[in-house]
């Protein structure tokens, strides 16, 4: 069974957050479409022809309306997923910031407590030995002056100790307060992560439903429009001629798809050859005795090192972290950049950074067309701004490291063709530069 057929039967499962299956296809998709013999028969009777024209016009309107509504629903669901994802990321960053502040205050409290201990020890040394008793019993002026000096020193130490102690208590209380806030923020982070997960599932379902609607439209629209033209035609052109024209267009579309698939296979094969050549060159350099040579990761895109590879051949046009917020027509890019941008060229291949399962493939708000991979062990990767029609994998599919999964584009909140690449640990984005570097890959 094809994926389209599975969607049409409503059996394409979405195994996440307890959601079992994609939405059922609306009843309009299962309409009884007229055949070309039906059209031929209808042409023999004017009233029958008029009724058939009305029926076909209604079917065309339903097809186009269903596809438009499904695409709009998918876009809305993608936008909601994007916003939920951003809310989760913001909460995660806030929780980390609060915990960092709590750790800093805790360290300050410890430092202040240590200082208080040192002052207490000094007090003991200055006032807690037998010398003090001797001075109290002494009647000599010199010893009395000395005693007053010692007592003055003790007063200063006591005053200093009170200040240090107060600082230690304040730091301790601040650390506890921040720790409590961090704990509450982690709860909020986890709550928002569950919402984001549900929104992701809903967006994937909406994306699959839109794909099904568009596929259904494509499967029938040409025939219906050809049949309608034949019924409305007052010339001597035959139904067979219209049918042949529809078939010619269908074959042309199939040829276009075949060429696109062949081009994707060519890109994958080129990537595999490049990886093999780079790995061989790296092995030769490592065994040549002369030392040196770049790491396998730097030898070329698609080179798999310890199971990981660079996802794009592009140069890093924007790094991870805070940046100047660019604004375009109706939107602004985020001031905190949660990934790295790798700019190769429009349509350039995007490679899976590691083997794993596709947990999302579809529209995702500011990310545009987006793919998310789960690599197991709490790690994942994300690929954004993919061009329209440039997603080559589907939800639930297993992919291998170095596999071509998409084509670079300029969708979503983007200012030029590039790959927005993210890495995740337990669902939260982390710096891809250090994440990939730990795995022997430079981005």
Q: What is the 3-state secondary structure (H, E, C) of 139-178?
A: CCHHHHHHHHHHHHHHHHHHHHHHHHHHHHHHHHHHHHHH
Instruction: Give dist(CA 140, CA 245) in Å, integer.
Output: 126
Angle at 300 between CA 298 and CA 305, to 5 degrees: 65
Residue 2: band (very low, low, confident or very high) from pLDDT cuts 50, 70, 90 = very low
* Mean pLDDT in residue range 127-145: 44
- Indicate if the alpha-carbon torsion angle 410, 414, 416, 417 is positive or negative: negative
Q: Is the pLDDT of residue 292 over 50?
A: no
Instruction: Give dist(CA 403, CA 381) in Å, integer.
Output: 14
* Mean pLDDT in residue range 158-179: 77
What is the full DSSP assignment across 354-374?
B-EEEEEEEE-GGG-EEEEEE
Residue-level pLDDT at 365: 93
DSSP designation for 294: -
Residue-level pLDDT at 169: 78
54-63, 129-138, 153-162, 385-394: segment of lowest average pLDDT? 129-138
Instruction: Give dist(CA 96, CA 434) in Å, integer.
Output: 18
Residue-level pLDDT at 8: 35
Cα 410–chain centre separation: 16
Name the nearest CA neighbour of 64 among 230, 223, 218, 243.
218
Q: Is the pLDDT of residue 63 over 60?
A: yes
Residue-level pLDDT at 158: 59
Residue-level pLDDT at 6: 37
Instruction: Give dist(CA 215, CA 189) in Å, integer.
Output: 38
What is the SS3 assignment for 322? strand
- Total Cβ atoms within 10 A of residue 437: 13
* Mean pLDDT in residue range 169-196: 90
Q: What is the CA radius of gyration of the chain?
A: 35
The strand pairing partners of 21, in sequence order, are 13
CB 210 within 8 A of CB 73: yes
What is the SS3 assignment for 304? coil
Q: CA–CA distance from 125 to each of 117, 149, 154, 163 (Å)?
A: 12, 15, 10, 19
* Bridge pairing between strands 19-21 and 336-337: unpaired
Q: Is the pLDDT of residue 103 over 60?
A: yes
CB 408 within 8 A of CB 348: yes
Residue 129: band (very low, low, confident or very high) from pLDDT cuts 50, 70, 90 = very low
> Which of the listed ranges 7-21, 55-69, 284-298, 335-349 does the model predict with the highest average pLDDT?
55-69
Instruction: Give dist(CA 428, CA 406) in Å, integer.
Output: 23
Residue-level pLDDT at 203: 94
pTM here? 0.72
Instruction: Give dist(CA 122, CA 108) in Å, integer.
Output: 21
Higher per-residue confidence, 114 vs 361: 361
What is the SS3 assignment for 377? coil
Question: What is the pLDDT of the chain when averaged over all its residues?
Answer: 79
* Per-residue b or e along 2-33, where b marks 16 or more CB atoms closer than 10 Å to that residue's CB: ebbeebbeeebebebeeeeebbebeebbeeee
């Amino acid at each position: 069974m094809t994926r389209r057929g599975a969607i049409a039967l409503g059996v394409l499962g979405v195994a996440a957050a307890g959601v079992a299956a994609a939405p059922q296809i609306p009843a309009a998709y299962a309409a009884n479409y007229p055949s070309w013999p039906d059209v031929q028969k209808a042409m023999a009777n004017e009233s029958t022809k008029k009724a058939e024209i009305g029926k076909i016009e209604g079917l065309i309107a339903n097809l186009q309306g269903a596809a438009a509504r499904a695409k709009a629903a998918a876009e809305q669901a993608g936008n909601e997923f994007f916003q939920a994802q951003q809310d989760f990321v913001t909460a995660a960053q806030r929780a980390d910031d609060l915990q960092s502040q709590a750790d800093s205050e805790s360290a300050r409290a410890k430092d202040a407590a240590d200082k208080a201990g040192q002052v207490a020890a000094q007090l003991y040394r200055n006032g807690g030995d037998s010398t003090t008793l001797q001075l109290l019993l002494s009647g000599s002026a010199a010893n009395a002056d000395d005693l007053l000096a010692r007592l003055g020193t003790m007063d200063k130490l006591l005053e200093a100790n009170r200040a240090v102690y107060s600082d230690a208590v304040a730091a301790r209380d601040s650390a506890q307060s921040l720790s409590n806030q961090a704990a509450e923020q982690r709860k909020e982070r986890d709550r928002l992560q569950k919402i984001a997960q549900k929104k992701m599932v809903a967006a994937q379902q909406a994306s699959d439903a839109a794909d099904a609607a568009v596929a259904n439209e494509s499967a029938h629209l040409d025939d219906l429009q050809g049949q309608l033209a034949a019924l409305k035609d007052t010339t001597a052109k035959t139904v067979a001629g219209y049918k042949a024209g529809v078939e010619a267009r269908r074959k042309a579309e199939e040829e276009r798809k075949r060429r696109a698939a062949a081009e994707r296979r060519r890109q994958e094969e080129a990537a595999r050859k490049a990886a093999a050549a780079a790995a061989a060159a790296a092995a030769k350099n490592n065994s040549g005795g002369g030392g040196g040579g770049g790491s396998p990761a730097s030898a070329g895109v698609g080179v798999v090192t310890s199971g990981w590879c660079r996802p794009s051949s592009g140069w890093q046009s924007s790094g991870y972290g805070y940046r100047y917020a660019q604004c375009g027509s109706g939107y602004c890019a985020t001031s905190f950049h949660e990934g790295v941008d790798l700019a190769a060229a429009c349509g350039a291949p995007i490679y899976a950074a590691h083997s794993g399962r596709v947990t999302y493939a579809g529209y995702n708000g500011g990310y545009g067309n987006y793919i998310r991979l789960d690599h197991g062990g709490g790690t994942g990767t994300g690929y954004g701004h993919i061009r329209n029609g440039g997603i080559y994998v589907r939800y639930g599919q297993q992919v291998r490291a170095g596999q071509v999964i998409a084509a670079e584009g300029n969708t979503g909140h983007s200012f030029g063709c590039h790959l927005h690449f993210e890495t995740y640990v337990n669902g939260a984005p982390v710096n891809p530069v250090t994440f990939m570097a730990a795995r022997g890959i430079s981005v």
